[in-house]
Amino acid sequence: MRLDPLSQAFAALADPTRRAILARLATGEATVNELAQPFDMTQPSISKHLKVLERAGLISRSRAAQTRPCRLSAAPLQQVAQWVGTYRQLWEDSFDQLDALLQSTTPPSIPTPARKGKSHVRKPKQD
Amino acid sequence: MSESPSKTEFLITRRFAQPLARVWEAWSEADQFQKWWGPKGCRIDVQRFEFRPGGFLHYAMNFPEGPAMWGRFAIRELVPRERLVWLNSFSNERCGIARAPFSERCPLEIQNSVAFAQEGGATVVTLRARPFGEMDDERAYFEELHPSLDEGYGGTFDALAAHLK
């Protein structure tokens, strides 16, 4: 399923390395080398994080210079920061999904296999 | 809730074509709930589903990229097919309360109150949400960051960048 921009930003922000990269970029643009230094990480793994941030629209990278410096993009971060906007998106998404679920399932007058009083336990698969 | 609306309160109403009993079932049963609740593109895995006052709903939010984030509902009031009130927060994987992974100042808990009403064969769901027990600093976070797009990104963004760490 394609992620909406807000979910993409959330997913990108969930990782501490990526938050640290953003905090660094908040002080000004930087190259991959400069970003890799404080993290004790290889360039390819920093590049992977940068790709996630770029796809989420949180940073942009210059095509002009060979070092392709990264810079922060404010708009999606601002969207995440706006609590009311975030909450509206969450509930609009959820209600759309609820609507789809209600339309696709049988009405309660037709009995479905009962599963009462049991708390649902399922191990999440980590992606 | 009788307090006057503030700029930190959020209200959303949705009408569903199905009867109230059916809509309530989608909220009150774990396997249905996890199919619809949450942002698009996020897979919810319910770990704990105690649908009663004082109970917790605890879930993992799995995005295609990045680690799972955890969240919980702490249910405060529950009148079947009528009303549901809970405190929503981020959590750790053991259902303990946790700060938002992206901000220190985002209020710890949001109180959600939902009213369910049958109208003919349809159901109207009205949700109100507001920060709960927020500290002054957390309130300021809302007020500073409340949408005021005309003012541009400057202040908002600086405030956020400072709290990303």
Q: Is the pLDDT of residue B4 over 50?
A: no
User: What are the tens digits of pLDDT across the range B36-87?
Assistant: 998 888 899 999 999 999 999 999 999 887 788 999 999 999 999 999 999 9
Question: Is B11:B72 a contact under the CB 8 Å cutoff?
Answer: no
What mean pLDDT do residues A47-53 have? 92
CA distances from B74 to B57, B131, B134 (A): 7, 14, 16
Q: Is the pLDDT of residue A75 over 80?
A: no
Shortest alpha-carbon distance between residue B22 and chain A (Å): 6
Looking at the domain assignment, is residue B18 inside a domain?
A: yes
Looking at the domain assignment, is residue B97 inside a domain?
A: yes
Q: Do B63 and A101 touch (CB under 8 A)?
A: no
More reliable by pLDDT, B56 or A37: B56
CATH number at residue B22: 3.30.530.20
Looking at the domain assignment, is residue B3 inside a domain?
A: no
**Residues of chain B contacting A82 with CB distance shorter than 8 Å:** 145-147, 156
CA distances from B26 to A123, B53, B60 (A): 21, 18, 18
Q: Do A122 and B47 touch (CB under 8 A)?
A: yes
Query: Which residue out of B48, B61, B110, B160 would a mutagenesis test of the A interface target, given it has the greatest number of A Cβ atoms within 10 Å?
Result: B160
Looking at the domain assignment, is residue B1 inside a domain?
A: no
Q: Give the whole-angstrom CA distance, residue B94 versus residue B98.
A: 10
* Residue B146 one-letter amino acid: H
Q: Give the whole-angstrom CA distance, residue B25 versus residue B104.
A: 36
Assess B62–A contact: CB distance below 8 Å, yes or no: yes
DSSP string, A5-16: HHHHHHHHHTSH
CA angle B59, A105, B42 (to 5 degrees): 30
Shortest alpha-carbon distance between residue B133 and chain A (Å): 16
Looking at the domain assignment, is residue B101 inside a domain?
A: yes
How many domains are there within chain B? 1
Lowest-pLDDT choice from A53-57, B137-141, B161-165: B161-165
What is the pLDDT, as a whole number, of residue B135?
Answer: 77
Lowest-pLDDT choice from A16-20, A39-43, B16-20, B156-160: B156-160
Question: Is A42:A33 a contact under the CB 8 Å cutoff?
Answer: no
What is the pLDDT, as a whole number, of residue B129?
Answer: 86
Name the residue range of residue B113's domain: 10-163
What mean pLDDT do residues B26-39 have? 92
User: What are the tens digits of pLDDT across the range B86-131?
Assistant: 999 999 999 999 988 766 667 789 899 999 999 999 999 999 988 8
Q: Do B65 and A4 touch (CB under 8 A)?
A: no
What is the pLDDT, as a whole number, of residue B152?
Answer: 32
Tokens linked to A71: 């810079």
Looking at the domain assignment, is residue B4 inside a domain?
A: no
Instruction: State phi, psi for A115 to the nearest 5 degrees.
Output: -140, 80
Looking at the domain assignment, is residue B122 inside a domain?
A: yes
What mean pLDDT do residues A51-61 have? 90
What mean pLDDT do residues B142-158 have? 38
User: What are the tens digits of pLDDT across the range A78-101?
Assistant: 666 666 667 788 899 999 999 999
Which value does ipTM take for this structure? Answer: 0.76
HEC profile of chain B = CCCCCCCCCEEEEEEECCCHHHHHHHHHCHHHHHHHCCCCCCEEEEEEECCCCCCEEEEEEECCCCCCEEEEEEEEEEECCCEEEEEEEEECCCCCEECCCCCCCCCCCEEEEEEEEEECCEEEEEEEEEECCCCHHHHHHHHHHCCCHHHCCHHHHHHHHHHCC
Looking at the domain assignment, is residue B21 inside a domain?
A: yes
More reliable by pLDDT, A41 or B104: A41
What is the pLDDT, as a whole number, of residue B103?
Answer: 67
Q: Give the whole-angstrom CA distance, residue B67 versus residue A13.
A: 10
Q: For residue A88, how many other CB atoms are within 10 A of its CB?
A: 16
More reliable by pLDDT, B142 or B10: B10
Angle between helical axes of B136-145 and A83-104 (0-180°, round to 10): 80
Q: Is the pLDDT of residue B6 over 60?
A: no
What is the pLDDT, as a whole number, of residue B153?
Answer: 33
Residue B151: pLDDT band (50, 70, 90) is very low
What residue ranges define each of the domains in chain A, with the CATH number in brackets? 5-79 (1.10.10.10)
